[in-house]
Amino acid sequence: MLKLPIYLDNNATTPMDPRVLEAMTPYFLEHYGNAASRNHPFGWEAEEAVDYAREQVAKLIGADPKEIIFTSGATESDNLAIKGVYEMYASKGNHIITVTTEHKAVLDTCKHIEKIGGEVTYLEVNAEGLIDLKQLEASIKPTTILIAIMYANNEIGVLMPIKEISAIARKHGVLLFTDGTQAVGKVPVDVNKDGIDLMSFSAHKMYGPKGVGALYVRRKNPRVKVTAQMDGGGHERGMRSGTLNVPGIVGFGKACELCRLDMEEDTKRISKLRDHLETELLKLEEAYVNGSREHRLPHVTNISFKYVEGEGLLMGFNKNIALSSGSACTSASLEPSYVLKALGLGDDLAHSSLRFGLGRFTTEEQIEYTIKAISETVLKLREMSPLWEMYKEGIDLNTIEWAAH
Amino acid sequence: MAYSEKVIDHYQNPKNVGTLDKSAKNVGTGLVGAPECGDVMRLQIQVDDAGVITDAKFKTFGCGSAIASSSLATEWLKGKSVDEALKIDNMAIVEELNLPPVKIHCSVLAEDAIKSAINDYRVKNGLEEIKFAESVVH
């Protein structure tokens, strides 16, 4: 029996894997010690659990456990990486290079850097959502201290060429920070093979608990340091003070271990479902995939259904299918997704998009239901769309003078 | 965001979806909104010799609230005289559908569509276009 509603918003957050919860439970009720308590068994147990989790987390990304700084999540890690590097390397320069399609946690942090006197270059992307490597290299100046480019985009799932980016960064002696939130645990990420100096990621995007994440900070070749953004007891090698969230960290560790062990099989199964979903939905007229299909996460697809509006479309099934739309009709501003606009999509196509994020617990039955529900709703809404009628009559919508409102 | 039951009902069972002959002299057509803004409404009225709206149709590209606002507007228009139709206020639509503040622009659009359709009808029939005050925030 198909159970509704169906969850297809795994880029927003993932459900916890029951095995993760199981690993965490004892650390709420029995082993509740503070990992910084050095003088009794409760503290020792907690510290041991954190050390073990740190190994599990490090192993997933090919890092040394000492290079993992636990935080409250990717937003905090993004802030710590960018602001921390900016302060620590102030004597070297004040220029940061990033991309217009980054997550707000990176973009808004960069805006903050500009306010306090830093300089930021925002690289544009092409229609595929990818940057031009030549342009990246040309943007590097003597004052450049950091390149901040995400591993995979949260809205369209496009994978940036991190290895090529890091080669450029290395050549010019600039640090590379990547927001790995959507990629870690989904595709193989190796900080050494990929040449990453700093990387943020989060437990709740990989079947772990909310409220815990990490910042990877390279210790060798080069040794990277960040200035703490939270002052206090000097936890996490002085880079992030605050009592460690032991149950959360234990869950994060377990989640990383499961991703490492299950990744290959999960990816095979999930990408097959994603491809099937995509193929079937593209059978609808005037449906387009947004962003590169070649360089992309295996579980994501972002599709625009032209001449129907995203939120109106969601309403047709959002009681039963959890999805996200690139339309911003729910917010006070009427601006659609800035990521889709950065790809060069017209506002009309950006307003017509849906993001599908499949996951470990997505089933074939759920995908079949989704294909049917979405196809029916698109057809129904097109029947009542004046734009569809004009399109069918051969009217070029760009020739109409719309009464802007 | 949770939609009101009335919005959901109009969305699921929209009233008067369709197209009237826009070249007919007794048909007025209003096309308002813009694809970039995420909503476009086309509202049409058919008027008899006595100046009474005998039929109304709509097609809308937009969110559920935009669809519901236009569906409701067509229901209200039928049977009204053109003069009465001019009095339909967007706030009446807001109240009837329980639209939240972020969706008020949908009702404004519906009101604009009505006025635009009436003006189209008037111009076709040799009457003067009515100048409306700039509508409130969209």
Interface test with B, best of A304, A305, A306, A309 (most B CBs within 10 A): A309
Q: Using CB atoms, which residue from B11, B40, B102 is nearest to A386?
A: B40
Inter-CA distances, B122 with A28, A342, B28, B51, Å: 73, 43, 8, 11
* Per-residue DSSP letter, A15: P
Minimum distance, in Å, between the CA of residue B106 and any CA atom of chain A: 10
In the β-sheet with A198-202, what is the strand arrangement from edge to edge?
A68-71, A213-217, A198-202, A175-179, A144-148, A95-99, A119-123
Tokens 């989790």 belong to: A53
Contact B35 A331 (CB under 8 A): no
Q: Which two tokens stand for residue A318?
A: 């959002």
Tokens 């509202």 belong to: B43
pLDDT at A172: 98
Contact A386 B67 (CB under 8 A): no
Contact A311 B64 (CB under 8 A): yes
Q: Could you tell me if A125 and A292 are in contact, meaning their C-beta atoms sit under 8 angstroms apart?
A: no
Residues of B in contact with A312 (CB under 8 A): 11, 61-64, 66-67
Q: With CA atoms as reference, report the closest residue to A327 among A303, A297, A352.
A: A352
Query: Does A312 lie at the interface with B, CB-CB under 8 angstroms?
Result: yes
Q: Using CB atoms, which residue from B35, B63, B67 is nearest to A384?
A: B67
Taken in order of first residue, the domains within chain A and their CATH numbers are: 6-11+263-393 (3.90.1150.10), 18-259 (3.40.640.10)
pLDDT at B132: 84
Residue B60: what are its φ and ψ, rounded to 5°? -135, 135
Q: Beta strand A68-71 with A119-123: parallel, antiparallel or unpaired? A: unpaired
Number of cross-chain residue pairs from A and B with Cβ atoms under 8 Å apart:
100
Buried b (16+ CB within 10 A) or exposed e, A64-81: beebbbbbbbbbbbbbbb
Interface test with A, best of B16, B39, B60, B61 (most A CBs within 10 A): B61
Q: CA of A332: which chain B residue's CA is closest?
A: B102
Query: Does A396 lie at the interface with B, CB-CB under 8 angstroms?
Result: no
Minimum distance, in Å, between the CA of residue B119 and any CA atom of chain A: 15
pLDDT at A329: 53
Contact B33 A336 (CB under 8 A): no
Q: What is the ipTM of this complex?
A: 0.93
Q: Could you tell me if A146 and A86 are in contact, meaning their C-beta atoms sit under 8 angstroms apart?
A: yes
Contact A386 B60 (CB under 8 A): yes
Q: Could you tell me if A359 and A262 are in contact, meaning their C-beta atoms sit under 8 angstroms apart?
A: no
Contact B34 A405 (CB under 8 A): yes
Residues of A in contact with B31 (CB under 8 A): 386, 400, 403
* Angle value at C-alpha A312, between A307 and A315, nearest 5 degrees: 140
Which of B106, B110, B114, B117 is flagged as catalytic?
B106
Q: Using CB atoms, which residue from A307, A309, A332 is nearest to B63?
A: A309
> A158 — alpha (psi -120 to 50), left (phi > 0) or beta?
beta
Minimum distance, in Å, between the CA of residue A388 and any CA atom of chain B: 9
Q: Using CB atoms, which residue from B14, B35, B58 is nearest to A387?
A: B35
Contact B37 A347 (CB under 8 A): yes
How does pLDDT run along chain A (405 residues), one tens digit per residue?
899 999 999 999 999 999 999 999 999 999 999 999 999 999 999 999 999 999 999 999 999 999 999 999 999 999 999 999 999 999 999 999 999 999 999 999 999 999 999 999 999 999 999 999 999 999 999 999 999 999 999 999 999 999 999 999 999 999 999 999 999 999 999 999 999 999 999 999 999 999 999 999 999 999 999 999 999 999 999 999 999 999 999 999 999 999 999 999 999 999 999 999 999 999 999 999 999 999 999 999 999 999 999 989 999 998 999 998 876 554 545 578 899 999 999 888 888 999 999 999 999 999 999 999 999 999 999 999 999 999 999 998 888 888 655
Interface test with A, best of B15, B42, B60, B63 (most A CBs within 10 A): B63
The Cα A171–Cα A357 span in angstroms is 36
* Secondary structure (DSSP) of A253-292: HHHHHHHHHHHHHHHHHHHHHHHHHHHHHTTSTTEEE-S-
Contact A307 B61 (CB under 8 A): yes
pLDDT at A113: 98
Q: Which two tokens stand for residue A383?
A: 């029947």
pLDDT at B137: 43
Confidence band for B135, pLDDT divided at 50, 70 and 90: low
Q: Which two tokens stand for residue A349?
A: 């196509």
Active-site residue A329, yes or no?
A: yes
> A267 — alpha (psi -120 to 50), left (phi > 0) or beta?
alpha
Between A401 and B106, whose confidence is greater?
B106
Taken in order of first residue, the domains within chain B and their CATH numbers are: 5-124 (3.90.1010.10)
Interface test with B, best of A314, A315, A347, A395 (most B CBs within 10 A): A315
Q: With CA atoms as reference, report the closest residue to B90 among B135, B40, B30.
A: B135
